């Protein structure tokens, strides 16, 4: 008798295999229903084997990192959520850091600071993981991941572990080869440079203070909700539409930064999605600009 793929997966992963897990625990919006299965492999090899098993099954599966750029429907996820948060190794070779996909951006930036390596400071204030940064070309304050990334290691749907030079990834504004494929990033290599640790620390503190001053960090959110439209700033369009502080249910357009939607008061995912749609409609009506979501909806509605 052939074993069901989920049984094989459970045997492979042991305590890293979970059933009926509330996704609000795994998203920065703190919303969303339960996932049928949630797995968190601790090694690249275990992740690769898991992807291979799932790709050969009839089960839908979804890849997440820190859950900082996603919305999970209130109805939950039918299928398997694969988290890369277990891939947390950082290794240093001179001015080069190789960082696991599950490492939080701020942790990678802190490692670089302690090693007196410059170039990663901008990542310290970006929520999410290195895997997400490598996929989406995360950026802030005039810097982007593509400026420092040199190589990416990824897993194919067949479970093959491959490497690609960053120059071949096709990085653009919040886009890359990985946003258009089924490949799963497992680590990234960064080329940094020697820099005085105190100088790095001072610059990082300045960036993070600017972030605290301008962003609603005291409420659950998923960062910037919309991509920057060509020739405009999403937050400015939303503010000029009179939508700061606008609420639907427990979701609210931040009064501090209109580009953010926050979980103000026990919001549901439906509250957030309805508010996103309302913002898009109002901005389009007033300015003729259709805002494109930066955050992704995980699973089917």
Q: How confident is the model at residue 149 (pLDDT cuts 50, 70, 90)?
A: very high
- Long-range contacts at 84-90 (CB < 8 A, ≥ 24 apart): 84/41, 84/47, 84/129, 84/131, 84/184, 84/185, 84/186, 85/40, 85/129, 86/16, 86/40, 86/41, 86/42, 86/43, 86/47, 87/41, 87/42, 87/43, 87/44, 87/47, 87/131, 87/186, 87/187, 89/187
From the number of C-beta atoms within 10 Å of its C-beta (0-12, 13-18, 19+), residue 163 rates as: exposed
- Does the structure show a pLDDT above 70 at 300? no
Active-site position among 83, 224, 241, 269: 224
How far is residue 179's CA from residue 136's CA, in Å, rounded to a whole number? 7
Look over the chain and give the mean of its residue pLDDT values, rounded to a whole number.
Answer: 94
294 noted as active-site residue: yes
Q: Are strands 247-248 and 17-22 parallel, antiparallel or unpaired?
A: unpaired
**Candidate CATH numbers 3.40.50.410, 2.40.160.40, 3.20.20.10, 3.30.43.10; the one for domain 5-83:** 3.30.43.10
Q: Is the separation of the CB atoms in 39 and 16 below 8 Å?
A: yes
The string of pLDDT tens digits covering residues 82-133 is 999 999 999 999 999 999 999 999 999 999 999 999 999 999 988 889 999 9
Closest CA to 66 of 154, 137, 127: 127
Q: How confident is the model at residue 272 (pLDDT cuts 50, 70, 90)?
A: very high
- Outline which parts of the chain fall under CATH 3.90.78.10: 216-297
- Outline which parts of the chain fall under CATH 3.30.43.10: 5-83
Predicted TM-score of the model (pTM): 0.91
The whole-number pLDDT of residue 221 equals 95
Match 């026990």 to its residue by tokens: 266
Assigned fold of 216-297: 3.90.78
224 noted as active-site residue: yes
Number of C-beta neighbours around residue 242 at 10 A: 12
**Candidate CATH numbers 3.30.465.10, 3.40.50.800, 1.10.274.10, 1.20.1560.10; the one for domain 90-204:** 3.30.465.10
- Outline which parts of the chain fall under CATH 3.30.465.10: 90-204
25 noted as active-site residue: no
Active-site position among 10, 113, 144, 174: 174
273 CA to centre of own chain: 18
- Does the structure show a pLDDT above 70 at 2? no
């Amino acid at each position: 008798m052939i074993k069901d793929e989920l049984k094989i997966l459970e045997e492979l992963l042991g305590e890293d295999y979970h059933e009926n897990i509330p996704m609000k625990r795994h998203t920065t919006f703190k919303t969303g229903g339960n996932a049928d299965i949630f797995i968190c492999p601790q090694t690249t090899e275990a992740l690769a084997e898991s992807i291979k098993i799932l790709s050969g099954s009839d089960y839908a599966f979804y890849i997440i990192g820190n859950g900082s750029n996603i919305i999970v429907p209130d109805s939950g996820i039918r299928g398997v959520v694969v988290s890369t948060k277990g891939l947390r190794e950082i290794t240093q070779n001179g001015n080069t850091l190789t960082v696991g996909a599950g490492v939080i951006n701020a942790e990678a930036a802190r490692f670089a600071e302690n090693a007196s390596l410059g170039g990663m400071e901008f990542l310290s204030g970006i929520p999410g993981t290195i895997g997400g940064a490598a996929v989406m070309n995360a950026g802030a304050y005039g810097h982007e991941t593509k400026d420092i990334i040199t190589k990416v290691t990824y897993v194919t749907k067949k479970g093959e572990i491959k490497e690609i030079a960053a120059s071949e990834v096709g990085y653009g504004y919040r886009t890359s080869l990985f946003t258009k494929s089924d490949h799963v990033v497992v680590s990234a290599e960064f080329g940094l440079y020697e820099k005085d640790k105190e100088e790095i620390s001072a610059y990082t503190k300045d960036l993070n203070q600017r972030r605290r001053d301008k962003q609603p960090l005291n409420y659950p959110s998923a960062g910037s909700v919309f991509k920057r439209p060509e020739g405009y700033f999403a937050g400015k369009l939303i503010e000029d539409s009179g939508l700061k502080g606008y609420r639907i249910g427990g979701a609210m357009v931040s009064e501090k930064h209109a580009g953010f939607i926050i979980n103000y008061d026990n919001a549901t995912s439906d509250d957030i999605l309805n508010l996103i749609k309302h913002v898009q409609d109002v901005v389009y009506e007033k300015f003729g600009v259709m805002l494109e979501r930066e955050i992704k909806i995980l699973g089917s509605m």
